[in-house]
Structure 1
């Protein structure tokens, strides 16, 4: 049972609210239009409900048998039939026209200022800035390690519990942002309620949606397609900033990417690879294989694994690059150095003491 302090949460701006009964406050015109449609449909349905059931209950009460009422005897009424056909038709048209307008607007992804590809992985998002300012930037966005620790301990804390990520998606305010969705393994779905967007991410297919945030701030969503045991740990955090701050962020990201770029011909020491591999493992592998390397259920253990212990290093390299048995996903999105580091780490950690070292050049060769 969670402690009383765990329940002392507040509304999260740009995210869910305590005891929320309505849609999230809209941050885009599309989301506002969806909210207006929701209210319009609700009032129309409420009026129909009250009208139909009001007439029905009035008729039952007013013309009950105990008061001597006798039912009328007639076979048809052209006027009544025309009336109950025309009125519903007009109601449906009145609902369909604004709804169609909103749907058409939602699907218009042309003339975007910024295009970002969102790739769903079990269980994280990969973002690649394809067109516009920031082109070439790419990173993975994973649930913050502190959030998983709180979940594992059964002690939820904070207004952004299970919504905090290590690397938020950053976009400029008042700019049309096109989101292209796809997936690496199973079907995921990219949804941010405050923006009024929700688009499936399907392996082997490309879908798209768009938004134009009209206010700066932090906005939250989640994968909204059941995608496996870690589905609840796949949040979306979009940080909307001013144009000036966005330009500064882009420059900082490009400099950071250049600083982190590895020399493809560098020969790493075992200690260097293990140190880096531990970080890669914690960020990408520990969720399934566990920090102990023991796995669980359908997840195979790495500690003592024959494929990890195999003297042929290409065996494990191919598993990491290509996935295995529709359970282990492909990790081609990791760099050659990251894959070499994490494989070296698993080959020389826990009870695995192979002494084997995998260099980035070997991974690069295996990719070809």
Structure 2
């Protein structure tokens, strides 16, 4: 039995690890960057050293048990201590630790070297979404979970990337050194993409740095790796790596689209949307942004998130401006976020109108983009 076990272990240790082979599901992912491959190789090196140490220690232990058993007439040694043995079991572990420390230190230094980046992206976590801002490019957007509430409620079949899909992925070029500046608006999050070997905490009031250089185009997924609240599991990360020319095309198109969106918002200030249009868009925005806390039926969660149906500022005719202000600026000290930076004027006006007229509230109030802009500018407060 022991001989058979030793043979199996020797076969496993003799199998080489190649980057182009399919990794074991229980092992780390080799990744698609130089640093991630170095981390994987370091992990395997330490693993094999530990396996070798385990084989030697347990081999000596079992050999001693078998060959010094009482049935063979073995007598226990009478010596109390041995200076030579103590020196040996001190020096050998010290040498092993040095052998481990050298590649580990090199890898850690490489992971922390964020100097001379080709592109810098600020990543800001909030409950429960990520915001990406490209430095010197005037491009920024929120990235939210794209899995529908129907799938989460088991009403429909799950897609392959269930809970790992977003509406707007982070787009990055391959072959370029990309620095990440990672922070948070509220609680501690953690931006983690295993294929890049990047995992950094997003702490409110602090900025942590990380970097990557992606070698292969493709789609890479990750998650928030910090328990950041009740919807922690609904905060995925999706990165799409593109060749430089395709990235440049996307960046230019995004700049144009965001500029057009800003111009459209300015035109909206002079327009009036009717109730039906506001309610239709408002329901969509509410179900994607607000329902996770206040519930689809507006009943909220007692003790955590207030109800909007039939009570509070959502039905108070004199609290319309306060309602707009809460949605735009949030409530400090609570889980109510500021949605002003996250939604367009049209979306803000629509969702507030929806909250004031859904679930039987029926205030008859409509909120227009100009009213929202006035609150943002502080003119109506």
Q: Is the 8 A contact 2:340 2:376 kept in 1?
A: no
CA drift of 1:118 comes to 1.3
Aligned residue for 1:153, secondary structure, equals coil
1:291-326: CA deviations, max 9, x gaps?
A: 222223422221123122231323223332133553
Distance 1:70 1:51 in 2: 24
The reply to whether residue 178 of structure 1 matches residue 155 of structure 2 is no
Aligned counterpart in structure 2 of residue 363 of structure 1, from 348, 351, 375:
375
The reply to whether residue 341 of structure 1 matches residue 367 of structure 2 is no
Aligned counterpart in structure 2 of residue 301 of structure 1, from 293, 297, 307:
307
The reply to whether residue 88 of structure 1 matches residue 93 of structure 2 is yes
Which residues of 2 match residues 156-175 of structure 1 at below 5 A? 157-175=158-176
Closer/same/farther in 2, CA of residues 106 and 224 from structure 1, 3 Å limit: same
CA drift of 1:114 comes to 1.1
CA drift of 1:103 comes to 1.0
Q: 2:270: which partner in 1? A: 266
The reply to whether residue 323 of structure 1 matches residue 331 of structure 2 is yes
Structure 2 regions of 5+ residues with no counterpart?
1-21
The reply to whether residue 118 of structure 1 matches residue 130 of structure 2 is no
Which residues of 2 match residues 1-368 of structure 1 at below 5 A? 20-131=25-136, 135-146=137-148, 148-153=149-154, 157-261=158-262, 262-263=265-266, 265-271=269-275, 272-297=277-302, 298-310=304-316, 311-320=318-327, 321-323=329-331, 325-335=333-343, 337=345, 338-358=347-367, 359-366=371-378
CA drift of 1:18 comes to 11
Distance 1:154 1:178 in 2: 41
Distance 2:23 2:52 in 1: 29
TM-score by length of 1: 0.88
TM-score by length of 2: 0.85
Q: Is the 8 A contact 1:339 1:363 kept in 2?
A: no
Q: Is the 8 A contact 2:192 2:200 kept in 1?
A: yes
Distance 2:94 2:155 in 1: 53
1:153-205: CA deviations, max 9, x gaps?
A: 26552321211111111000111111111112221110000011101111222
Closer/same/farther in 2, CA of residues 352 and 19 from structure 1, 3 Å limit: farther
Closer/same/farther in 2, CA of residues 154 and 279 from structure 1, 3 Å limit: closer
CA drift of 1:362 comes to 2.6
Closer/same/farther in 2, CA of residues 19 and 330 from structure 1, 3 Å limit: farther
Closer/same/farther in 2, CA of residues 20 and 156 from structure 1, 3 Å limit: farther
Aligned residue for 1:165, secondary structure, equals coil
Distance 2:122 2:78 in 1: 67
Q: Is the 8 A contact 1:184 1:329 kept in 2?
A: no
CA drift of 1:152 comes to 0.9
Which of the two has higher C-alpha Rg?
2
Distance 1:350 1:366 in 2: 30
1:211-251: CA deviations, max 9, x gaps?
A: 11000000000111111221111110000001111011011
CA drift of 1:363 comes to 2.3
Distance 2:373 2:335 in 1: 27
Distance 1:104 1:305 in 2: 56
